[in-house]
Amino acid sequence: MENLKIKTKKAFGLNSYAKINLFLDINKKLENGYHDITTLFTEVDLYDKIKFSLTNNAELKIMSNIDNLNNQDNLIYKVGIFIKDRYSVQCGANIELKKNIPIAAGLGGGSSNAATTIKGLSKLWNLNLSITDMHEIASKFGSDINFFLEGFTALGENRGEKITKLNDIYIENILLINPNFPISSKEAYDLAQINKHNSNLSQLLKTQNPVFCFNKLEEGISKKYPTIRQTLNLLKDLGAKNAILSGSGATMIAFFNDPNTCIKAQKLISKQNFWSYITSTRRRQTNEHHRR
């Protein structure tokens, strides 16, 4: 590729959205150690901010408001170096990450950052990567990254990387709660029992009613971490029409009928010093989008 000559400073910011799993069931364990799953992803209006700046030197530099992300173990850095090497990019980039999404929380923050980095560097370095190219890169680094390249609402199959776009599912008055301890995806899947399958997905897609939301990982995690089960029960007592684990946890999702009940529940939960955030799912019709 031609070397980029920087005549004017090129810099821009992108939002890197969190996701929740409205549905997650495990079909079987695969020979490679991963699990074959069926999941319903949707983005929510909680996001990290990532700023990309073009530099003349060849260095890729990551800067974050979270100190332990300022290193080469960060998925942003790994993805960036891979793209730089694959396409023989001579320029460098400064990538500034403002982290708002809790880490190792079942909200896909790292995967979202990686997908946003693929899009951002394609634009910054004038690579014009096709969506097929982006998906191929994403599949090398983690199962959820492919979803974030598409965003909004989608079905995830196989390891979660096989993505089928779906019509928007719009849900308001969602309370996210994180008890401030991390759970790794590996641990969550190791704790799961694969037995009978859940049949709620078709009803959920048809009605868009959160009472049909389900997460197969919740049972095993709740047994090891009683705080999860206690908090989910408390949320239902506080008026949530359903409360489930998000992804591999430890973030929990509670769905409320109205904003007042949601806010009251958040105030009570906050007394336990848990992280919490009130949000809604994202819609493609951005002109109709309601922000909190």
Domain of residue 246, CATH code? 3.30.70.890
Percentage of residues in the chain with pLDDT exceeding 70? 94
Mark which of 165, 195, 228 sits at the end of a domain: 165
pLDDT tens-digit readout, 263-283: 999 999 989 999 999 999 999
Residue 233 CA to residue 197 CA, distance in Å, equals: 23
The 10s digit of each residue's pLDDT in 8-46 is 569 999 999 999 999 999 988 877 777 889 999 999 999
Residue 255, both tokens:
């769905």
Cα separation, 195 vs 58, in Å, equals 51
Of 25, 45, 48, 144, which residue is the catalytic one? 144
**What letters, b where the CB count within 10 A reaches 16 and e where it falls short, cover 184-197?**
ebebbbebbeeeee
Establish whether 73 is a catalytic residue.
no
Residue range(s) defining the domain that contains residue 22 = 11-165
Confidence of residue 6 (pLDDT cuts 50, 70, 90): very low
Whether the predicted pLDDT of 154 surpasses 90: yes
Q: What is the mean pLDDT of residues 185-193?
A: 88
Mean pLDDT of 125-131: 97
Q: Which of 165, 183, 217 is the last residue of a domain?
A: 165
Phi, psi at 42, each rounded to 5°:
-150, 140
Same domain, residue pair 200 and 260: yes
Does the global pTM surpass 0.75? yes
Question: Which residue of the set 10, 19, 48, 78 is catalytic?
Answer: 19
The pLDDT assigned to 251 comes to: 95
Mean pLDDT of 72-90: 94
Give the model's confidence band at 72: pLDDT under 50 very low, under 70 low, under 90 confident, else very high: confident
> Quick check: 160 pLDDT over 90?
no
Tens of pLDDT, residue by residue over 44-63, are 999 999 999 999 899 999 99
Q: How many domains does the chain have?
A: 2
What H or E segment, with its residue span, contains residue 165?
strand 162-165
Answer yes or no: is 70 within a domain.
yes
Q: For tokens 């910054």, what's the residue? A: 124
Conformational region of residue 142, where left means phi above 0, alpha means psi within -120 to 50, and beta covers everything else = left
Q: Sorting pLDDT into bands at 50, 70 and 90, what band is 68?
A: confident
Catalytic residue flag (residue 7): no
Residues sharing a CB contact under 8 Å with residue 10, sequence separation 6 or more, in sequence order: 53, 54, 124
Structure tokens at 126: 């004038």
User: Are 69 and 39 found together in one domain?
Assistant: yes
Domain C-terminal end among 134, 165, 196: 165
C-alpha span between 6 and 28 (Å, rounded): 51
Task: List, as one string, the DSSP characters of 237-255.
Answer: HTT-SEEEE-TTSS-EEEE
Is 4 among the domain residues? no
Q: 41 - beta bridge partners?
A: 21, 154
Token couple for 1: 């590729």
